[in-house]
Amino acid sequence: MSVDAGDGDVLTAAVRTADGTGYAAYNERADGSVAPFYVVYADSDRTDRYGYICGACGSLAVGMDPMGRLDCAECDNSRKAAQWDAAYL
Ligand SMILES: [Zn+2]
């Protein structure tokens, strides 16, 4: 994984994105078939959502279709829309 836990609090980790630094929110996750996906924000205040990071391989190449399905382009991790886990807060 490319997550650097040395920056931010325990629930937020700085990650390298194509646009610079992003912040992965470990308490905002969606369960995937292999590992959870985490929401990534462009700022540490979590106001500007950047996308998702794959918890299995650390890739930011996670696509989301209009049905809410997540699919990692780098590994086999994926999430069906019905598997959204909003209870983990
Ligand atoms: Zn992946």
pLDDT digits (tens, 9 = 90+) for 58-72: 999 999 988 889 999
Q: What is the mean pLDDT of the chain?
A: 85
Query: How far does residue 54's CA lie from ligand 1's centre (Å)?
Result: 5
Query: How far does residue 37's CA lie from ligand 1's centre (Å)?
Result: 9
Residues spanned by the domain of 46: 12-82
Residue 86 banded pLDDT, cuts 50, 70, 90 = low
- The domain total for the chain is 1
Query: How far does residue 85's CA lie from ligand 1's centre (Å)?
Result: 18
Q: What is the pLDDT of residue 82?
A: 62
In a domain, 2, yes or no: no
Query: How far does residue 52's CA lie from ligand 1's centre (Å)?
Result: 10
% of the chain with per-residue pLDDT over 90: 66
pTM: 0.78
In a domain, 29, yes or no: yes
In a domain, 39, yes or no: yes
Tokens for 70? 């997540």
In a domain, 73, yes or no: yes
In a domain, 1, yes or no: no
In a domain, 57, yes or no: yes
In a domain, 89, yes or no: no
Q: What is the pLDDT of residue 40?
A: 96
In a domain, 4, yes or no: no
